[in-house]
Structure 1
Amino acid sequence: MKKIGITGQKGFVGSHLYNTLGLRPEDFERVNFEKEYFEIPEKMDEFVQQCDVIVHLAAMNRHPDHEVIYASNVELVKKLTDSLERTCSKAHVLFSSSSQEEKDNLYGKSKKEGREILASWAGKSGGTFTGMIVPNVFGPFGKPNYNSFVATFCYKLTHGETPVIDNDGEVKLIYVGELVQEIIRQIENGETSDAYEVSHTSVNKVSEVLAKLENYKKLYFDNGEIPVLESKFDLNLFNTFRCYFDMKDHYPVQFTQHTDPRGAFVEVIRLGIGGQCSFSTTVPGITRGNHFHTRKIERFAVIKGKALIQLRKIDTDEVLDFYLDGTDPAYVDMPVWYTHNIKNIGDEELYTIFWINEPFNPEDADTYFLEV
């Protein structure tokens, strides 16, 4: 079992890596890191001494003064290197640099210089170093106006604002989940590579990305329809988009009922993709679920009885409660990385329709059990 520490553990890529490592407790032990350790050499040394592997992700991406970005990023690398030297560490250090290394800006310069400092440490100490040069990263929970233009567009479209394109160029992109898997592969390989270029997984014009997101807003955010998702990029972009809702305001979404003397008709879901639709009954007092998914799209639709649906983003404490009643049918969709459950809180059987975008495969279930 490898003991792995992540500087920038609570950041965009860091949190995804930390949570994904947690899905393999038999292979990896996570060593906790707090950003205050950079200012306390004793704490930094204690952290470094525990680690077989250190993934250095802590960095400043944006600041009005670019000199501040440069100085901050280089200083963080030097503080880590100083600790590695003080503790005589032989850890495998992985560093996330950027494809902006070759551009004439101080952020790119800071990443290149940081990579070279750590490569020099490894050469002198006999440590292992992987300098990863990473393309533009997007995915769930990125900060708008900070991590990615995709995050900015998603936030604006779901909060009544209008995205603006500053430069409609082609952008090489990688989904954060794909990057995390590449980092894990490099951890498992355990080989030195001073300048390893991580391959992008898609190339898109900014306007093409925005057009897809605007379509998701129209079909899904406004009308609850699952759009056509023709590629893995489309699925990843859609799952990213779904994580920017203000869920307390958005859910539960009421269905449109069509009634006549025979009874009522309700359309549960309109699809541009396939998937699996299932039906369950739940006796009073029973709770189903308490699991999360990392890629699947899922809808819970209550058609009879009273239910409490609960969601919690797995690295937070806030629990979102949604009360649904079959007399006024409604649904809640489950974002990726949110553990969720459904409980019958009524006195009669609860009838629920579940839809998920891919049939259940026990060999690749993408279902991880965790209490809400």
Structure 2
Amino acid sequence: HLAALNRHNDPQTIYDTNIQLVKKLLKALDSTGSRPHILFSSSTQEERDNMFGRSKREGRELLSGWSKDNNSSFTGLVIPNVFGPFGAPYYNSVIATFSHQLTHNEEPEIEIDAQLKLIYVGELVKIIYDLIKNKTASSEFRVPHTREIKVTEILELLKGFKSNYYEKGFLPDLDDPFVRNLFNTFLCYTNIESHFPVKLKQSSDERGSFVETMKLKSGGQVSFSTTRPGITRGNHFHTRKAERFAVIRGNALIQLRRIGTDKVLNFELDGSEPSYVDMPVWHTHNITNTGNEDLYTIFWINEFFDANDPDTFLESV
């Protein structure tokens, strides 16, 4: 049970809504005679004197009590601040708000420079998966945070992404998993349609042309491919990898679609004006040679390929 109302102008509405959600679930379980393993997402705000925290604590206690009375398994997760792609600005997290503001030329403001205990949504999903797989029962399972950081430090990192990535073309150092997750989150707030493709700096003289394809503060892997006319590569997505396609010769159509949506974004690239498109996480993507000659493409990805953990999921755009 992950659903909840986080914010509302009327605190009582938050409390009433969240308690009613729990009671509706319990009523459904009783009416069907179901005795499942229930997992409930509560929050470390349980410890605060506010209606959201109170509703989560009391909701967890209601479910725990019902499970004991009905000989059912229950896991009550007490979760720290969660961040990740597609969180709602001004609602889910300060990271969602700051990322939206910085990618839309707005100036973030810090009201309270709090020390935040954070977990990335992908890390949380892995914990939930393991709890289900191992059938772990606990009325109060404290989910550990993976990074503790001040709001000012978060904003400094995000402003660095804007300055280095947007304005100077640098890909950041992504060796630290937290920084990688923060960058992938930040990138998902980009107005993809207007930002890409990005033209690369090209210098030409009588000898030919020289093009800088990428500036890295990160490691990873750079590959080169040729693609025959009419051939499509890709049709997959990643959940943690950052990736760039740079077309340096020929004509290409790059397509992206966010998982769970139907809208397809189309980008036409021409090697006579070398350019690139970066692939946000949770966006399936492909590249097709639309020309009459071989297509030359440079690919960068932030980590080496590991056949045991490829983070590559097939899905047609």
| TM-score exceeds 0.5 | yes
What is the CA-CA distance between 1:344 and the residue it aligns to? Answer: 0.3
Question: In the TM superposition, what is the alpha-carbon distance from 1:230 to its structure 2 partner?
Answer: 4.6
Q: CA deviation at 1:86?
A: 1.0
Residue equivalent to 1:85: 30
What SS is found at the alignment partner of 1:324? strand
Residue 215 (structure 2) aligns with: 270
CA separation in 2, counterparts of 1:85 and 1:129?
15
Whether the 8 Å contact between 1:344 and 1:350 is mirrored in structure 2 is yes
State yes or no: 1:335 paired with 2:272: no
What runs of 5+ residues in structure 2 fail to find an aligned partner?
A: none
Ranges of 4+ aligned residues in structure 1 off by more than 4 Å = none
CA distance in 1, matches of 2:198, 2:289: 19
Confirm or deny that 1:246 pairs with 2:199: no
User: 143, 150, 162: which one pairs with 1:217?
Assistant: 162
How many residue pairs match? The answer is 317
Cα deviation for residue 165 of structure 1 reads: 0.5
Specify which of 230, 233, 249 is matched with residue 285 of structure 1: 230
Give the CA deviation at 1:85. Answer: 1.0
TM-score using structure 1 length: 0.84
Q: Shift of the alpha carbon at 1:126? A: 1.0
Three-state SS of the structure 2 residue aligned to 1:196 is strand
Q: Does 1:131 align with 2:69?
A: no
Q: Give the C-alpha shift of residue 191 in structure 1.
A: 2.8
> What is the aligned partner in structure 1 of residue 97 from structure 2?
152
Give the secondary-structure state (helix, strand or coil) at the position aligned to 1:362: coil
Report the equivalent of 1:308. 253
Q: Deviations over 1:96-119 (max 9, x none)?
A: 000000101000000001001111
The amino acid across from 2:166 in the alignment is: F
Give distance in 1, aligned partners of 2:59 and 2:274.
Answer: 55
1:141 is matched with which residue?
86
Residue pair 2:174, 2:302 contacting (<8 A) in 1 also: no
Instruction: Give the 3-state SS of the residue equivalent to 1:331 in structure 2.
Output: strand
Equivalent in 11, 31, 39 of residue 66 of structure 1: 11
Q: Secondary structure at the match of 1:340?
A: strand
Structure 1 contact 89–127 (Cα < 8 Å) conserved:
no
Distance (whole Å) between structure 2 residues aligned to residue 120 and residue 168 of structure 1: 38
Residue 120 of structure 1: how far off its partner (Å): 1.0
Quote the sequence identity (%).
57
Alpha-carbon distance in 2 for matches of 1:131, 1:157: 36
With a CA cutoff of 8 Å and minimum separation of 6, indicate the structure with the bigger relative contact order.
Answer: 2
| Corresponding residue number in structure 2 for 1:298 | 243
Instruction: Map residues 1-372 of structure 1 onto 2, 5 A cutoff.
Output: 56-372=1-317
Offset at residue 253 of structure 1 (A):
0.4
Q: Structure 1 counterpart of 2:275, which letter?
A: A
Which whole-Å deviations, capped at 9, do the CAs of 1:118-153 have from their partners, x for residues lacking one?
A: 111101111111000000000111000000000000
Q: Which moved more, 1:128-137 or 1:185-194?
A: 185-194
* Structure 1: unaligned runs, 5 residues or longer: 1-55
TM-score by length of 2: 0.99
Which whole-Å CA distance do the structure 2 matches of 1:318 and 1:223 have between them? 29
Mapped contact 2:83–2:95 kept (Cα < 8 A): yes
Offset of 1:224 from its aligned partner? 2.4
Cα distance 1:224–1:274, how it changes in 2: closer, same or farther (>3 A)? same
Q: Deviations along 1:300-350, whole A, 9 cap, x unmatched? A: 000111000000111111111000000111000001111100000011111
Alpha-carbon separation, structure 2, partners of 1:97 and 1:274: 38
Q: What amino acid sits opposite 1:125 in the alignment?
A: N
Q: In the TM superposition, what is the alpha-carbon distance from 1:248 to its structure 2 partner?
A: 0.3
Coordinate RMSD, CA, aligned:
0.8
CA offsets 1:150-177 (integer angstroms, 9 cap, x no match): 0000000000100110100100000000
